[in-house]
Structure 1
Amino acid sequence: MAHTQISMYLPPDINPTQAAIAYGCRALPKLNEELQSENLRTRQKALMALCDLMHDPEHVYQAIQIGCLESLKALLRDSNHLVRIKTTEVLCIMATHNIGREGFLKHNVVLFLSLLLNDPQLLCRLNLHQAYKHLAQLPQGAQGIINSGLIPSLVWKLQREEHESVQLLILDTLSSCLWEGAASEALDNRVVPFLKEMLLSANEDIRAKAAHTLMAVCVPLDGKNQVWQYDVIPILVHMLKDPMQEVQANAAGALMYATITTEGKYAALDAEAMPPLLMLLNSTLSKVRLNAIKALTMLAEAPEGRSYLQAHVPVFRLIEDDPNPAVQQAALTAIKVIEWKP
């Protein structure tokens, strides 16, 4: 006879939106079959389950081996927005693992992801750019993005993307790619005026990342010239007084590169860059001190800059005892340049 007794045990943890995972080595092959199903609910449930499994690099390796990346590439074109969102989420998680990033390059996932650069769903774009950011952290990953011809598209999106969270991810990806030799291509697509706008952003993280990206832009001569021509140097000088130390460091770093040319030197001198740079020598962040010293060294190569800094040589001598060896060496170099006599 049946009795109405309440069990002492908790009910099983069942997620109705997630596919049941097969046992052992059959789990991923079964999910891969379900990813290719014509039934929308089946595809959605398989993607939900796959999101959980992809946190394990061993599962990522197996997924790539059995062809999951090909299935996911096809789902990027799915008409259902939830399928596209979960597909990009799976790829984003996979991109956090080295084996996943290698799989992206081998199976041309980079180019397929770019199909969603203009997707109306914000979560799709966030996941996409998060995956690109992870990929670009490896030199070969950044090169893969460059070789896919995506630099013009990323520069274009930098200006037109309305959500700051996506802008930050694009700046991270662009910065990594520009350091790997894509600066000239970005310059051809008007990256300097776009970055100039971002240097004036109310968001301090955007200001910091825009200045960091500008450092990479200033490596080639054309970048240095464009920063001067677009009148970006006075903005960088103003950013030296920013309350955020990361902004100060990157602004000083961009000035360090931009002032290598004669035009850049005199543009910085005209913008009165010396006093705020000298103030940064007392920063608690070694990166700020290092970049400020190097920028001052560039300015000291101009007679007017050298004359101004001669009275401040004792400050540089104090920095010779800095706990950071790179800062010590930079201070020694600065003293030599300031005390040089023709």
Structure 2
Amino acid sequence: MFCPNKNSFLQMTVAMNPRVINKAVRRAMRKKHFDPHDELPPTQRLESMQPSMFAPWVDITRAHLGFGRRGLRLINRELNSEDSLVQLQAIHSILDQVQIAENAMFLIDLNVVYRLIDLMQDRDPIVREKVAYILTHLANYHQGRQRIMSRPIVIDHLIYLFMRDRKEIRYVAALLLKTLTRDRCSCEIIMKNNNIIGSLLKMIKDDYMTIVIFHLNSLKYLTEWDPVPSLKANAFQVMKKLIKQQEFKIVAAAMDCMVQLLKHDVGKKLADQHDLTHFLRKYLLSPDIEVVMATAGLMCYTTLTTRAKWRVKEYQYDFTRRLVSLCVSHNFPVLQLRCMQVLINLCDSPDIRAHLKKHWEKRIMTINIREHEQWDGTSETTSYGLETGHNYRTMCIEGVETIRNDYGDSIHAVNVTSYLRRLQEVKAHLIEAINFQPHIN
């Protein structure tokens, strides 16, 4: 149930008083339930509301200067102050102002990035944390990424932060690295650092779940740019161990990362040696839909080789039945596209093609594909917007991943209509592949 003391953001954005919702739920359950968080004054607050790093004598919610172009120049100047208190106040003020796009662009033009990169080595942990937060916001802009990556020393600072610092700073450093790696030009500069891949693989093995997921996303984008360093660092074996974990989010992120490894010929050979398709079969039955989608995406690459197709023939009935049922029972465009692509890959084998035509052709014809009004063009299935329709002003704002092309020199977001048209074409291609007869010209 809702609690304003546990989630202040929810309290601010929901029009109804959360206590009214709690009262209605308790009345419907006909059960008396005492929650100390609902009482006044609030007690037993969450641990996350009590940070372990404090900024003494600084009101982190209010800036001490009036703003405008003149105020921003003064704040930028105070970053170089010898007084640690003035410097700390300036950092918190800048963190407030970078939330506004216009002020963030003006601060970028003032070359605030260069001073912030120097402050990443400050002795005060609160300074290191807030500076990483500011750089993360600035890295969302093209000009900000250009200024940040013009100083490659920032990668060495990030490696030191997410490997040796405390957990709050490791979290922010991982978030900053993930934000930088989403840009392909930044990946080219980051990959020139010989320690980045090894450091990421080392920290992936033992850290908090959210930090591990950030590292996996960073490794995915870096491997997409150049898979060779990751393969040399035994990333394939590390990803396979992560897939065996219990956390669904880590499993799905590790599979997405392994997809980039299998785009290289060495990765495909490793997949055949480890019999990866047989290893991934049980994950198609996972209760988490994100894991199922990631498994289908990984199988699109594991089933490309002849050796993998011959191996699938040993369990083709159960395997094809599960793939077809996923296409028919779910209407997630991403899942349907990936499952149908796996079936198209398997149709290269005459025995599997004949099996599909005999048993599953009629069910494949009944695959239902969404209309463009029913889908907002994202791959996230837990998004609040997907559950409530086209309600973009929701109380839950997530970092939703937009569907992108995974080929070509420039990766852009795909139009919803063109993506669904591509889904129709893949379905037609699958039906054509099932009915293919090589002896007929």
1:169 aligns with 2:217: no
1:10 paired residue number = none
Aligned mates of 2:202, 2:369 — CA distance in 1? 46
After alignment, is 190-199 or 19-28 more displaced?
19-28
Alignment of 1:70-89 (within 5 A): 70-89=114-133
**Alignment match, 1:8:** none
How many angstroms does 1:111 deviate by? Answer: 4.3
Report the number of matched residues.
327
Higher helix share: 1
CA-CA distance at 1:53 after TM superposition = 1.1
Alignment partner of 1:281 out of 327, 338, 361: 327
Q: Is the 8 A contact 1:199 1:235 kept in 2?
A: no
> Which of 343, 347, 355 lines up with 1:300 in the alignment?
347
Whether the aligned pair in 1 keeps the contact of 2:296 and 2:335 (CA below 8 Å) is yes
Any runs of at least 4 consecutive aligned residues in structure 1 with deviations exceeding 6 A, and if so which?
none
Which of 292, 299, 304 is equivalent to 1:260?
304
1:292 Cα offset (Å): 0.6
Residues 1:313 and 2:361 aligned together: yes
Q: Deviations over 1:292-325 (max 9, x none)?
A: 1110111121233223212122222333877532
The TM-score normalised by the length of structure 2 is 0.68
Question: Secondary structure of the equivalent of 2:163?
Answer: coil
Cα separation, partners in 2 of 1:242 and 1:114, compared to 1, 3 Å: same
Residue of 194, 201, 205 corresponding to 1:155: 201
- Residues 187-234 of structure 1 show CA distances to partners (whole Å, capped at 9, x for unaligned) of 111111111122222222222222222222211111112123234333
Instruction: Measure, in 1, the Cα distance between the counterparts of 2:86 and 2:349.
Output: 69
Q: CA deviation at 1:19?
A: 5.9
Q: Which residue of 2 aligns with 1:189?
A: 233
Please state if 1:208 is matched with 2:304.
Answer: no
Contact map agreement 1:320 1:331 (CA 8 A) in 2:
no
Distance 2:68 2:436 in 1: 72
**Deviation sequence 1:233-272 (CA, Å, 0-9, x none):** 3332211111222221221111111111112223444465
**Aligned-CA RMSD value:** 2.5
Going from structure 1 to structure 2, the CA distance change for 1:329 and 1:320 (only over 3 Å counts) comes to farther
Percent of residue pairs identical: 21
The answer to whether the 8 A contact 1:322-1:328 is kept is no
How far, CA to CA, are the matches of 1:107 and 1:28 in structure 2?
23
Provide the residue aligned with 2:407 in structure 1.
none
Q: 1:22-75 deviations in whole A, cap 9, x for unaligned?
A: 653332333333323333333322211111011123323332333322211111
**Structure 1 unaligned regions, length at least 5:** 1-13
CA distance in 1, matches of 2:427, 2:322: 17
Normalised TM-score (structure 1): 0.86
Deviation at 1:138, TM superposition (A): 2.5
Report the secondary structure of 2:321's partner residue: helix
> Any stretches of 5+ residues in structure 2 without a counterpart?
1-56, 372-419
Match of 1:124 among 158, 169, 173: 169
Distance 1:61 1:107, change over 3 A: farther
Secondary structure, in 3 states, of the residue corresponding to 2:220? helix
Tell me the SS of whatever aligns to 1:330. Answer: helix
When residues 262 and 81 of structure 1 are mapped into structure 2, their CA distance, relative to the original with a 3 A threshold, is same
Is the contact made by 1:75 and 1:83 (CA closer than 8 Å) also made in structure 2? yes
Distance 2:68 2:428 in 1: 62
The secondary structure found in structure 2 opposite 1:125 is helix
Q: Structure 2 vs 1, CA of residues 193 and 126 (structure 1 numbering), >3 Å: closer, same or farther?
A: same
